[in-house]
Amino acid sequence: MKMAISTRHRWPSVPQRILYLMRCGAELALQLATSPEVLDELEGSNFKSGDTDTLYADPVLSAKQRRAIRAGTIHWLNAVIERPDQPVSAFLVEEAVLGISELYPTQAAQVLLNNARSVQDIAWQYWMKIVFQLTQDPLELQQLLEISSVSINTFIDDSLQLGIERMQRDVEARKSGQLEEQRELISQIIAGDAVDLAGAERLLNYPFAQTHHSAIIWSEEIDTEISDLEHLATAFQKACQQAESLKILVSPSVVWVWAAAEFPVNEKVLEMALKNKENIRISYGEGGNGVDGFRRSHLDAQAAQRVLGRLKSNVQLVSYDRVRLMAFLAKDAKSIQHYSGHVLGDLAQAPAAVRQSLHAFLECGCNATEAAKRLHTHRNTLLRRLAKAEEMLPRPLAENRIQVAVALEALYWIL
Phi/psi of residue 91, each to 5°?
-140, 140
Kindly indicate the confidence band of residue 331, based on its pLDDT and cuts at 50, 70 and 90.
Answer: low
> Terminus-to-terminus CA distance in the chain, angstroms?
33
Q: Give 41 or 143, the one with higher predicted confidence.
A: 143
Q: What is the DSSP letter of 287?
A: -
- In this prediction, residues 244-254 reach a mean pLDDT of 91
List the one residue out of 125, 107, 121, 117 whose CA is nearest residue 157. 117
Residue 1 has pLDDT above 70, yes or no: no
Give the model's pLDDT for residue 170. Answer: 77
Q: Give 62 or 131, the one with higher predicted confidence.
A: 131
Kindly indicate the confidence band of residue 3, based on its pLDDT and cuts at 50, 70 and 90.
Answer: very low
Distance CA 97, CA 67 (A): 11
Give the model's pLDDT for residue 2. Answer: 45
Q: Give 324 or 47, the one with higher predicted confidence.
A: 324
Distance CA 291, CA 346 (A): 48
Delineate the domains of the chain, giving CATH numbers in brackets: 2-173 (1.10.490), 206-329 (3.30.70.270), 333-414 (1.10.10)
- 247 contact partners, CB below 8 Å, separation of at least 6: 230, 233, 234, 255, 256, 257
Kindly indicate the confidence band of residue 40, based on its pLDDT and cuts at 50, 70 and 90.
Answer: confident
Is the distance from CB of 66 to CB of 34 less than 8 angstroms? no
Distance CA 297, CA 208 (A): 13
**pLDDT > 70 in the chain, percent:** 90
Kindly indicate the confidence band of residue 8, based on its pLDDT and cuts at 50, 70 and 90.
Answer: very low
Give the model's pLDDT for residue 4. Answer: 43
3-state class (DSSP) for residue 20: helix
Kindly indicate the confidence band of residue 332, based on its pLDDT and cuts at 50, 70 and 90.
Answer: low
CA distances from 183 to 107, 205, 288, 304, 325 (A): 17, 13, 20, 21, 30
Give the model's pLDDT for residue 10. Answer: 66
Dump pLDDT digits (tens) for 384-415. 999 999 999 988 888 888 878 888 887 877 76
Distance CA 234, CA 68 (A): 31
Q: Give 274 or 38, the one with higher predicted confidence.
A: 274
Give the model's pLDDT for residue 154. Answer: 94
CA distances from 253 to 5, 93, 177, 193, 283 (A): 27, 15, 20, 26, 14
Query: Per mean pLDDT, which range of 56-65, 269-278, 297-306 is the poorest?
Result: 56-65
Give the model's pLDDT for residue 25. Answer: 95
List the one residue out of 110, 151, 112, 148 whose CA is nearest residue 128. 148
3-state class (DSSP) for residue 84: coil
- In this prediction, residues 190-194 reach a mean pLDDT of 92
What average pLDDT is seen over the chain? 86
